[in-house]
Structure 1
Amino acid sequence: MTHDQLIKDFYSACNQRDYAFMQQAYHPKATFFDPVFQELNAQKVKAMWQMLLTASKDLRVECSNVHSNNASGSCRWDAWYTFSKTGRKVHNIIHAKFQFEHGLIIRHEDQFDLWRWSRQALGTSGLLLGWSDIVQGKVRATAKGSLDKFIAAGQ
């Protein structure tokens, strides 16, 4: 399978809530980074996808601009969903970068505008304070806490 196809299949699995396929796409020593979850090891990124996909009721994703070579790749992916803590609709625009080893993802980095996300997900507080370290820190702490509880519960 080409790396382009791996990326496309990864987000197709996300759209189908097939976290098992997504988990298998990661190398055992994989790492993940995004503005919310920050640095995750392979165990935590696999748990993150399982947690997010099993909790989501209306997630829809689209992957575009896929480019890769033997070592790395990138794409844009858009996610539409309802943020469960507030019931607010979110459209997140994410730029993903990948590094590959032995046909698997060894490094996955997602970049998106956390302030833009917080304006949508949190409403007025996100609009007024979503740019601040305080609100962004709270978003990160809440996400980390949710993931830690999910892992502790045995997924």
Structure 2
Amino acid sequence: MHPNEELIQKFYTSFQNKDGQTMVSLYHPDIEFQDPAFGLLKGKEAVAMWLMLIERSQNLTIRFSNIKADESKGSANWEADYHFSKTGRIIHNKIHANFTFKDGKILTHKDHFSMWKWLGMAMGPVGYLMGWWPALGNKVRKEALTGLQLYMKRKRM
């Protein structure tokens, strides 16, 4: 197994074990994370996001597969099952992740998933009907970022 494949495997194994400190230790100091829910996060924001998600997670189950990596780039598929805190609805999110590496760490991490499908699971029929509308996705992103900023302030990050 390539060392960067091992790095990705360690990242997701730590996620399964709710070990946020190990997860973020695998990130390069110049990390850039991006996904449809949070948008682009850099450095401390990316680190704080994972720590916040781990701390708040209840009934979270993570599975990962299809890890591939070479010297410069990598990818993996992962799935998350959890209850969305605002509605109590069950989420089963299927994500494809792309990575780049520098100095033996993850430099960029981009998660790709359908925001429309996620909104449908999180909000039910309204999410399915309105999930295609960019304003709804923007509202969710704004709420996620506000929550992240409050978390960072509370943790003095």
TM-score range, shorter chain: over 0.9
Amino acid at match of 2:152: I
Distance 1:122 1:53 in 2: 22
How is 1:7-18 mapped onto 2 (pairs within 5 angstroms)?
7-18=8-19
Aligned pair count reads 155
Deviation at 1:42, TM superposition (A): 1.6
1:62 aligns to what? 63
Amino acid at match of 1:78: E
Q: Alpha carbon RMSD of aligned pairs, Å?
A: 1.0
Distance 1:30 1:100 in 2: 10
1:26 aligns to what? 27
1:85 aligns to what? 86
1:94 aligns to what? 95
SS across alignment from 1:45: helix
TM-score (norm. length: structure 1): 0.97
- Runs of 4+ in structure 1 deviating by more than 3 angstroms, as ranges, are none
Is there any run of 5+ residues in structure 2 with no aligned partner, and where?
A: none
Percent identical across equivalent pairs?
38
Q: Does 1:37 align with 2:19?
A: no
2:140 aligns to what? 139
Deviation at 1:125, TM superposition (A): 1.6
SS across alignment from 1:126: helix
Distance 2:15 2:98 in 1: 16
